[in-house]
Chain A
Amino acid sequence: MLYIKCPHCGMRPQIEFSYGGDASVKRPELNKEISDQEWDNFVYNRKSLRGKHLELWQHISGCRQWIKVERDTATHEIFKTFKADEEVA
Chain B
Amino acid sequence: MQKYSIFNLVKNAFSNHQNWDLAWKDPEPKEEYDVVIIGGGGHGLATAYYLAKEHNITKVAIIEKGWIGGGNVGRNTTIIRSNYMHDENGLFSEFGMNLWRKMSQDLNYNVMFSPRGIINLAHSDAQMNAYARRGNSMRLNGIDAVLLNREQVKEIIPMADFSENVRFPIFGGLMQPSAGTARHDAVAWGYARQADDMGVDIIQNCEVIGFDVSAGKINGIRTSRGNIKAKKVGLCVAGSTNILAEKLNMTLPIETHLLQACVSEPVKPVLDSVVTFGAGHFYISQSDKGEMVMGGDLDGYNSYAQRGNLPTLQHVLTEGIAMMPFLSKLKMLRTWGGIMDMSMDGSPIIDKTHIDGLYLNCGWCYGGFKATPASGWTFAHTIAQDRVHELNAGYSLNRFNTGHLIDEKGLGTKTWIS
Nearest CB on B from A23, distance (A): 11
Interchain CB contact under 8 A, A73 and B304: yes
Question: Is A31 in contact with chain B by the CB < 8 A criterion?
Answer: no
Residues in chain B near residue A75, CB distance under 8 A: 305
Q: How many residues of A contact B (CB 8 A)?
A: 27
B133 proximal to A (CB < 8 A): no
* Option from B254, B303, B311 in Cβ contact (under 8 Å) with A76: B303
8 A Cβ contacts from B198-256 to A = 242-243, 246, 251-256
A15 touches B311 (CB 8 A): yes
Q: Which residues between 32 and 55 of chain A lie within 8 Å of chain B, taking CB atoms?
A: 36-37, 40-41, 43-50, 53, 55
Kindly list chain B residues whose C-beta atoms are within 8 Å of the C-beta of A48: 242, 254-256, 302
CA A19 to CA B413, docked complex, whole Å: 13
Which of A1, A14, A18, A46 has the most CB atoms of chain B within a 10 A radius of its CB? Answer: A46
Q: Is B24 located at the chain interface by the 8 A CB criterion?
A: no
On whether the beta carbons of B301 and A19 are closer than 8 Å, the reply is yes
Kindly supply a per-residue 1/0 record for chain B positions 242-273, scoring 1 wherever the CB is within 8 Å of any chain A CB and 0 otherwise: 11001000011111100000000000000000
Name B309's contact: one of A1, A40, A43, A74 (CB within 8 Å). A1
A19 to B415, CA, bound (A): 11
User: Which among A2, A41, A55 is the interface contact of B302 at CB below 8 angstroms?
Assistant: A55
With A44-B400, A46-B254 known to touch, is A53 a contact of B311 (CB < 8 Å)?
Answer: no
Chain A residues, CB < 8 A from B253: 40, 44-46
Are B401 and A50 within 8 A (Cβ)? no
Q: Which of B251, B303, B311 contacts A14 (CB 8 A)?
A: B311
Whether A45 and B252, one on each chain, are in contact in the complex, defined by CB atoms closer than 8 angstroms, is yes
* C-alpha gap A73/B243 in the complex (Å): 12
A-side interface mostly:
mixed
A43-B413, A47-B246, A73-B305 as given contacts; A19 in contact with B300, CB under 8 Å: yes
Closest to B345 in A: A44
> Is there contact, CB below 8 Å, between B256 and A50?
yes
Question: In the assembly, what is the distance between CA of A75 and CA of B306, in Å?
Answer: 10
Q: How far is the CA of A15 from the CA of B400 in the complex (A)?
A: 32
Bound together, the chains give a CA A10 to CA B184 distance in angstroms of: 45
Residue of A nearest to B240 (CB): A50
Residues from chain A with Cβ under 8 Å of B256 in the complex? 48, 50, 73
Contacts of B304 on A, CB cut-off 8 Å? Answer: 50, 73-74
Q: Does B414 contact A (CB under 8 A)?
A: yes
Residue B344 is within 8 A (CB to CB) of chain A in the complex: yes
Tell yes or no: B166 within 8 A of A by CB: no
B255 nearest CB across to chain A (Å): 4
Residues of the A chain whose Cβ atoms lie less than 8 Å from the Cβ of B67: none
User: For the complex, is A62 an interface residue (Cβ under 8 Å from B)?
Assistant: no
Q: Taking the nearest CB of chain B, how far is it from the CB of A25, in angstroms?
A: 10
Contacts of B311 in A (CB 8 A): 1, 14-15
Which parts of B386-418 form the interface with A (CB within 8 Å)?
400-401, 413-416
Sample of 25 A–B contacts (CB below 8 Å): A1-B310, A2-B309, A18-B300, A21-B255, A21-B416, A37-B401, A44-B253, A44-B413, A45-B251, A45-B252, A46-B242, A46-B255, A47-B246, A48-B242, A48-B256, A49-B302, A50-B243, A50-B256, A53-B302, A55-B302, A73-B302, A73-B303, A75-B305, A76-B303, A76-B305
Please give me the 7 A-B residue pairs with the lowest Cβ-Cβ distance, nearest first.
Answer: A44-B253, A48-B242, A45-B251, A48-B255, A44-B400, A50-B304, A44-B344
